[in-house]
Every structure is written in structure tokens, then in C-alpha cells.
Amino acid sequence: MASSFERSTLIQLASPTPNSTAAGPFGSNLVSGDYVERGVPVIRGQNLSERWVGGDFVYVSQEKADRLRTNTAKPGDIVFTQRGTLGQVSLVPAEPYDTYVISQSQMKLTVDESKADPVYVYYAAKSHDFISQIQDNAVAAGVPHINLGLLRAMTIPVPGLHEQRSIASTLSSLDDRIDNLRQANSTLEAIAQALFKSWFVDFDPVRAKAEGREPEGMDAATAALFPSEFEDLEFGPIPKGWMLTKISAVAELIKGCSYKGAGLRESEGAFMFNLGCFNAIRTFATENIKRYTGAYRDRHVVRGGDLIMANTDMTQHRQILGRALFVPTGYDPAFVSHHVFKVVVKRPSADVWKRYLFFAFQQSAFRERAVGHATGTTVLALARDSAELCPVIEPTNRVLASFDGVVAPLLCKIEKNLKLVSALEQLRDTLLPRLISGKLRLSDAETLVDEASV
């Protein structure tokens, strides 16, 4: 393999068809009043967090999309962020939509497939080299941004088509494995969430026994742990012998460290778990963990397996506030920032209670109560006292242990999958610049990928 490839500008690789490079519509041509419940999806910045455009969409009518036909993207197109979080880029998938409208903050490229492979161009646009071009050319006034002219002039290495496709296939195979592991984790967590809701929200085993039925999907020994009647409390009926208590009786929420920006570093210092780690799409956004060389207290220190909770929310749909995560292993020393609570269980069997609270904090009743008690408008903040006053069901120790016996192995598997995802992402990010620069032979890269698959 050659040590380097010829470079081409994106406009040289663009399809000869009209509007093969396009920006979003002017501001007044697409406003929130245009959104409808169903129709043609609009690609916004939040839809560019993964390889494929996805997530929660807003929609416009087909008639509106027809009027914005010069601002649309099709399957196989590449979408770039124009303003805000520069460097975001995603591919438009083949399904489930055949047309998307791009918002005012995005741009798209339709590749001439006789010159370049769209997937290869996507990976080249994810490289540090390309992102550096964006940063070097960004207009810094106000919200950082670039424009279509700047994007068209940016360059990427362009080997022959066969080699492009081979490079794209090698990197895609890693991303496919990452996607499969994330989907497996979503399935595992959904199983555990469903069990929690059945036992501790809907009280299905208790209702079944109260009606003279055998609880579904449960052996006799487990069924015997549940009562067969309810008792009425102010907030409604709960299983007899269980308690409705406050979080403060079970755990203490410790607010994290108010850090100073001057202490942030790229690659040295303690690991700081911050609000950015509570990504609304993935389980844990490890790429947003910060490094810090400043001072913090022992009470802010966290270790692998500790439970943490977001106490601040800047998202439009309030997706972050009250969300809980387990601290991943392999980050030491580490601490939490002031936007995060460290959850310290007061009861015996602390690990069992941490897993129980993790699922309790995911329930809509808790999340809605957290938002209701938060202060602020654009930025919501949840005070420690308000969070600790939220109610939580306290089952008997035997029921709690039985639940943990099911979910602990599921969470262990999720943690193992997350470690593998991290390793695969690191491998992908190591191979990407070396492959597109021509400094690594494809055969050597394929060997590394095969070894990672064992």
C-alpha cells in the first residue's frame, strides 16, 4: 500500500446532480410552527450522534417538504453540522424514510459514487484531520459555525474505489459489532426494567395472588415471597408488609465538586464524571468524561459500580434530570462534578439497594416528580433536599434479594458489553486515521479486527 493518497475536495467528490451539496433552509422557511405529528422527518443536531441519522425526529408535512426540496437528504447522503456542535457527521440510512429535510444547522453531501464510496467519505469526515479543518475554518463569532462554501473546499484522502470500499468495510465491521452490543444492552436493560415495573410498580404478583391466581412466569418459591393483599396509604395501595418511605431514609445524595475551568486537561488528572456523561441515547457517554488536575474532596470520589444521578438538565425534553447511571470500572481516581449527585446507600446490602434504586430512578413517576421539584426554566436544577424527599417503595428484604438475583447478572453482562464497546471504539479510532492516510495495510487492519472479534 502507498504511504499516502491523493486528496480531493468534497465538491470534487459531489454528485453532478442538482443540489448535491446543500445547506438547510433559511430561518423563516422552517419554524417550529411547521412541525406536524407525522410526515417527513427533519434532521437536527440531536439526530447526528451516531453513525446513522436517527433518534427522535420532528416532522413536516409532505407539502412543506416539497417546498423545501432543495434542502432535503436521501439515503446514502452524508449530513454535517453547520453550527453548534461542529464535527458531527452521520450517514442517512436506507430505512425507514426515503426523504429527510435538513434543518438550518445542517448541510448535506450527495457523493458521486463513480468517484467515491459514501461510507468511506463518512469515515474520512470523522477523522481528526477533517475535524481539524473544520475547527481551523470555523467562524468563531457568536455560535461557532461553518458554511457550505467552506465545507465544499475541505479535503480528504482518496484512494481507488476498491480500496475505499475495503477500508469502509473494515471500519463498518467494527461499528456493526458496537451497534449489536448496544442493542443487546438495550434488550437486557429492558428485561430488567420490565421486571421492576411488574414487581414494584404494577405489583403484578400481589394482584395475581389477591385474585386467587398463580403469578405468571414465577416459580412457587418466589411467588411465596409476595403477600396476597394490599393496604391503603395516602399515595394509594401498596402490598401488605411493604413500606412507602423517602429516598432520604435509604440513601444520601451528595452533590459533586464545583470545579474550576482552569483545572481541566486533555489527558492528565483525575477523571471527572459530569453532566455530559448522561447522554440521552446511550447508557454512558464515556467520551464526555473530563480530566481535572484541580482539588476535590473525598466525599466527591466515586469508584466503579457507584450509583450517580444527574441533578441538572439543559435538554429541551428534560431527558437528563434525575437520570441515574453506574460508574464504569477502569477510571481511577474519579469524582463527580456539581451537576451530579453521588448516591450513598445507608442500608445493609448496599450493592443490592443501589441496583434497586437504579431502576426506581428510571420510573416515570420519579422522573416527573424530579422535574416538578426542579427550579429554573432553560436550565433545570434539582436540589438535594427535594430529591431526597421523593417517595420510594421499600419491599421486604427477601423480595429485594430475589429481584437482585435476577437483575445483578443482567447488569454484569451490560457492564462487560460496555467494556467491549469501549475497546472496539478505541480500535476503530486508532485504525481510522492510519487507514485513510495509507499508513496501515488493509491486511494488517483486518488481522487486528479479527483478533478483536475472538
Q: Do domains 8-158 and 247-394 have the same CATH topology?
A: yes
How much is the pLDDT for 1? 42
Instruction: Look at residues 437, 433, 430 and name the one whose alpha carbon lies nearest to residue 452.
Output: 430
How much is the pLDDT for 116? 97
pLDDT at position 234 over 50? yes
How much is the pLDDT for 2? 44
Instruction: Look at residues 26, 28, 53, 27 and name the one whose alpha carbon lies nearest to residue 42.
Output: 53
Cα–Cα separations (whole angstroms), residue 229 to 217, 219, 222, 334, 381? 20, 19, 16, 46, 39
pLDDT in tens, 138-172: 887 778 899 999 999 999 999 999 999 999 999 99
**What is the amino acid identity at position 255?**
K
User: What mean pLDDT, rounded, does the chain reach?
Assistant: 91
pLDDT in tens, 379-396: 889 999 999 999 999 999
How much is the pLDDT for 384? 92
Please work out, in degrees rounded to the nearest 5, the angle formed at the alpha carbon of residue 187 by the alpha carbons of 185 and 190.
110
How much is the pLDDT for 424? 93
CB 292 within 8 A of CB 334: no
Task: Show the cell assigned to 100.
Answer: 429527510
pLDDT at position 28 over 90? no
Confidence bin at 59 (pLDDT 50/70/90): very high
Confidence bin at 439 (pLDDT 50/70/90): confident
pLDDT at position 409 over 70? yes
Cα–Cα separations (whole angstroms), residue 74 to 12, 355, 401? 19, 43, 51
pLDDT at position 446 over 80? no
How much is the pLDDT for 443? 76
How much is the pLDDT for 282? 54
How much is the pLDDT for 283? 66
pLDDT in tens, 267-301: 899 999 999 898 755 567 788 899 999 999 999 99
pLDDT at position 128 over 60? yes
How much is the pLDDT for 453? 63
For the segment 65-94, the average pLDDT, to the nearest whole number, is 94
CATH code for the part of the protein at 247-394: 3.90.220.20
pLDDT at position 370 over 80? yes
Torsion region of 115: left, alpha or beta (phi above 0 gives left; psi -120 to 50 gives alpha): alpha
For the segment 293-313, the average pLDDT, to the nearest whole number, is 94
Greater pLDDT, 448 or 220: 220
pLDDT at position 48 over 90? yes
Query: What's the CATH fold of domain 8-158?
Result: Adenine-n6-DNA-methyltransferase TaqI; Chain A, domain 2 (3.90.220)
pLDDT in tens, 313-326: 887 667 888 999 99
How much is the pLDDT for 17? 95
Domain ranges of the chain: 8-158, 247-394
Percent with pLDDT over 90 in the chain: 75
